Structure 1
Amino acid sequence: MSFFQLLMKKKELVPLVLIMTFAASGALSFAVYSLRKSDVIIDRKGNPEPWETVDPTVPQKLLTINQQWKPVEELQKVRRATK
């Protein structure tokens, strides 16, 4: 018996199949969306340190109050030493 014949025979399964199809498509679309976000790094070899390409003068949040960017000297020393 095929799947559609089973659904035609047992009509009470139709809402369950529709809900499960909707939930599975939502989960799949969220997974694809999460992989395309800029926070997720898939390609480690192409851009291993993506946080260094962020412009500090452009706010990354929806609302930023009194944002002032100053380089931290200790981090700059470590950055120069590792390159």
Structure 2
Amino acid sequence: MDVFRTLGKQLKSHPALIPLFVFITIGGGMCATYVGRLALRSPECSWDRAGNPEPWNNMKPTAQYKLFTVNQDYSKLKKDRPDF
């Protein structure tokens, strides 16, 4: 807790640093959120080796797994891979 007290004193004496700490905190939170999303929702990442070692084979061709796409309607895609 001594670190936060020292940080508070420094921010009171140098208020121009407050936006820097705010944006660094927001950026760190966004990074952690994106890495968590990649680890939990990406078909390339497999946490259950025994039950489903290849989860990308169970993805439907109409499933959207990308974070951001431009002008792409996944419901109209056709199946372009074989069943295993």
TM-score normalized by the length of structure 1: 0.62
Matched-pair contact (CA < 8 Å) for 2:11–2:18: yes
Equivalent-residue separation in structure 2 for 1:70 and 1:13 (angstroms): 54
Q: What do you get for the CA RMSD once the two structures are aligned?
A: 2.8
Structure 1 counterpart of 2:62: 59
Instruction: Indicate the percent of aligned positions where both proteins have the same amino acid.
Output: 22
Count residues in correspondence: 69
Query: Per-residue deviation at 1:34?
Result: 1.1
Separation (CA, whole Å) in 2 of partners of 1:35 and 1:14: 32
Q: 1:54 to 1:20 in 2, by over 3 A?
A: closer
Provide runs of 4+ in structure 1 moved above 3 Å.
51-55, 58-61, 68-72
Secondary structure, aligned partner of 2:34: helix
- Equivalent AA in structure 2 for residue 46 of structure 1: G
- The residue that corresponds to 2:26 in the other structure is 22
Displacement of 1:49: 2.6
Task: Structure 1: give runs of 5+ residues left out of the alignment.
Answer: 77-83
